[in-house]
Amino acid sequence: MSGRWSTQRPDAPQTGAQIYRFLLKRLGYALITLFILSVLVFASASLLPGDIGRNILGGLASERDVAIFNHNAGVDRPIVVQYLDWISGFVRGDLGTSLQYNVPVSSLLGPAFINSLKLAAVAFVLVVPLSILGGLVAGLRRGSLTDRAITITGISFTAIPEFVTAIVLILVLGLWLGWLPVSATAPEGSNVATQIEYLLLPSFALVLILFGYIARITRASVIESVDADYTRTAYLKGLTSRQVVGGHVLRNSLLPTIAVVATQVGYLIGGLLVIEKLFNYNGIGLRIYTAAQNKDYTMLQSGVLLVGVVYLVATLVADVLYSVLNPRIRYGSAE
């Protein structure tokens, strides 16, 4: 096996205390990161040039109206007080009032976040198994025509900007063939099957964007595993190819794939602005974009922090999964 884990101790004993320590440490790092993120998000939104009241009310509003607006919005208080007020509210689930729409931020971000989760879930269910399968087939048939076809197709789609992929899918599957709805939002009161049907086209776009990347990582890991001593030993023991691939190659090659997939979860939930715009989907990416465009600072800050939390949770879950699949990691990290 390669020397990737050479600094860790494969022979160390496993105890509950060590696992607990490992998780605690990871959680601590996540919280520190989140704190730094919250300060950065708040500072960058607060320090943007321009008076908030003036930006919202427009140039023709009187100074008096601007001052009243700023006072009511609480933005005339010291910045530290504003930060503490915001972050304590965020922790309690009170995200404040949208400056743009004058309604609770949570009433807008909540449904958008759930929508993003739905789209991410459908895309995830499609792209992860498909990419792993593609990477596995390509890795096992290294150098063959199949390998080249999978690799080149995947890379090509990844290289195409997402708005191009999305528009082509809309044109072909939505308008020319009429197979799928071109908007991602199902009519009010639709059942789960209809909602999934509406989410298929944007999910296909995401599959094309992510397939090449995830499949390539899986392929590389598969090749590494196929060449590893334990695989050779397994064959020598007389196991069938299916047993070797299922029990040794796939299991070992999933580790880097999990890391890659975990990082994409954050993107799938918070980074789909282009997809959300083109499929007119009320996701969190579009909410954040609109908030930034209209200087709705309360919505912008909470939206960005929420996406940050998603990224960190996804990474934390990946770390835990990783450590469950590979004990050497938790001991190395817990030291």
Partner 1 sequence: MDREARRLLDEYRQNEADPVENALFDDLAAGELTRLDFLQRGTVLGLSATTLGAALGALGHAPLALGATSHVGQAGGRLRVGIIPAPVGDLEPHLFKDHGRLVTGSICGEFLTKSRQNGTLAPELAVSWKRNADATQWAFNLRRGVKFANGKPFTADDVVATFNRLTDPNGGSEALSAFKGVLSPGGAKKVGDYTVVFTLEAPNANFPYLTSSTTYQAIILPSNYTLGSFAKGRQTTGPFNLVSYTPGVGARFERNAQWWGGRALLDGVDVTYYSEDAAAVAGLLGGQIDMMSQISFTSGKALFKSPKVQIFSAPSAGHRQISMLTSTVAANKALKDRRVRQAIALSLDRPQLVKQLFNGFAEVGNDGGPLSPSIHVVADKSVPARKQDLVQAKKLLAQAGYPRGFKETLTAPIFQEIPQLAQIVSASVKKIGIEMPLNLITYTAYYAGTYSGGATGRGTNPWLNSPIDITDWAHRAVPNVVLTSAFVTGGPWNAAAYSNKKVDGLIKSFNGAVAIKDQKKYIAQIMRILQNDTPVIFPYFFKWVLAGSTRVKGFQADALGMLFLGKTSVR
Q: Which residues bind partner 1 (CB under 8 A)?
A: 50, 54-62, 64-65, 98, 100-103, 108, 111, 167, 170, 174-175, 178, 181-183, 185, 188, 277-280, 282, 286-287, 289-290, 293-295
Instruction: State the nearest-atom distance from the C-beta of 49 to partner 1, in Å.
Output: 9
Residue 324 burial (CB < 10 Å; 0-12/13-18/19+)? exposed
Beta carbon nearer to partner 1, 169 or 208: 169
Residue type, 11: D
Distance (Å, rounded) from C-alpha 327 to C-alpha 321? 10
Distance of CA 132 to the CA centre of its chain: 18
Instruction: State the nearest-atom distance from the C-beta of 84 to partner 1, in Å.
Output: 28
Instruction: State the nearest-atom distance from the C-beta of 278 to partner 1, in Å.
Output: 5
Beta carbon nearer to partner 1, 16 or 59: 59
Residue 207 burial (CB < 10 Å; 0-12/13-18/19+)? buried
Instruction: State the nearest-atom distance from the C-beta of 170 to partner 1, in Å.
Output: 5
Query: Can you list the pairs that 18-27 forms with residues at least 24 positions away whose Cβ atoms lie under 8 Å?
Result: 18/330, 18/331, 18/334, 19/323, 19/330, 21/334, 22/323, 22/330, 22/331, 22/333, 22/334, 23/320, 25/333, 25/334, 26/316, 26/319, 26/320, 26/333, 27/316
Structure tokens at 109: 């971000």
Beta carbon nearer to partner 1, 5 or 179: 179
Beta carbon nearer to partner 1, 83 or 101: 101
Instruction: State the nearest-atom distance from the C-beta of 175 to partner 1, in Å.
Output: 5
Beta carbon nearer to partner 1, 109 or 226: 109
Instruction: State the nearest-atom distance from the C-beta of 197 to partner 1, in Å.
Output: 12
Residue 49 CB: number of other CB atoms within 10 A?
A: 5
Beta carbon nearer to partner 1, 104 or 332: 104
